[in-house]
Structure formats: structure tokens, C-alpha cells
Amino acid sequence: MKNYDPWVFLAVFQEMLGPLLWILPLLALGTVAGFVWLWRREGRIATRRLVLAELLGLLGGGLALVIMAAASSSGFTDAAGPADWFLILIVYGVGFVGTTLLTYTIMGWLAGGRRPQNA
């Protein structure tokens, strides 16, 4: 590959992820928008809700690894070098942060107009 062509990467990711390639970025954008809107509405971060969301984020990181293993043709036993393990850590981290934001936002919006009890 002599030239950098972003369309090749798009085609490869489309082949690997299928419809998830478009669903996951839209979900991430909606989550961030909902979180910012909730944060501006409440004016602070609710610590109890954040801790619960972080606990669920641990499961979300694991789910991200399962999706990564299912989308690729290799498993965790094929990780040989530091770059592979670094990528695994990045995928887990993105899954953790994404799930934490998503669950915090959902819990905040389900709470309705109530303000958080703690700061």
C-alpha cells in the first residue's frame, strides 16, 4: 500500500463491523449530547449515580472486548506483542468510558426533574 486511502479503511471496517460501524458512532454522539444536556440541566455530577454507572462500566468494558473478539478473526490468545495488548486495553477503556457515560445519562434522565441528592 503505497498511498494512504481512507476509503480502504472504511471498507475494511464496514466488512468487519457491518451495521455496528454506523450504530456505535451514532450512539456515542447521542450519549455525549445527552450527558452534556443533563449536566447543564443539573449543574453538577451526582456522585452516587456516577459510582453506579462506573460499576456498570466495568461490564461494558468486558462487552467491548467480546465485540472486538467477535468482529475480528483472532482471539485473545493471538495477542503476541505489546501493541496487541495496548489495543486490547484501549478497547476495554473505550467500552468502560462509553458504558459509564451511557448509564449515567440514562439514569439521570430516568430520574426526571429531580435534582441529585448529593454533590
Q: What percent of the chain has pLDDT over 90?
A: 48
Is residue 2 in some structural domain?
no
CA distance 106 to 28: 13
Is residue 65 in some structural domain?
yes
Cell of 21: 460501524
Q: Which residue has the higher pLDDT, 87 or 38?
A: 38
Is residue 116 in some structural domain?
no
Position 1 confidence tier, pLDDT thresholds 50, 70, 90: low
CA distance 19 to 52: 30
Supply the range of the domain harboring residue 69.
Answer: 25-110
Does residue 77 carry a pLDDT above 80?
no
Is residue 41 in some structural domain?
yes
Is residue 31 in some structural domain?
yes
Residue in the structure block whose three cell numbers are 454522539: 29
Position 40 confidence tier, pLDDT thresholds 50, 70, 90: very high
Give the total number of structural domains in the chain. Answer: 1
pTM higher than 0.85 for the full model? no
CA distance 54 to 12: 32
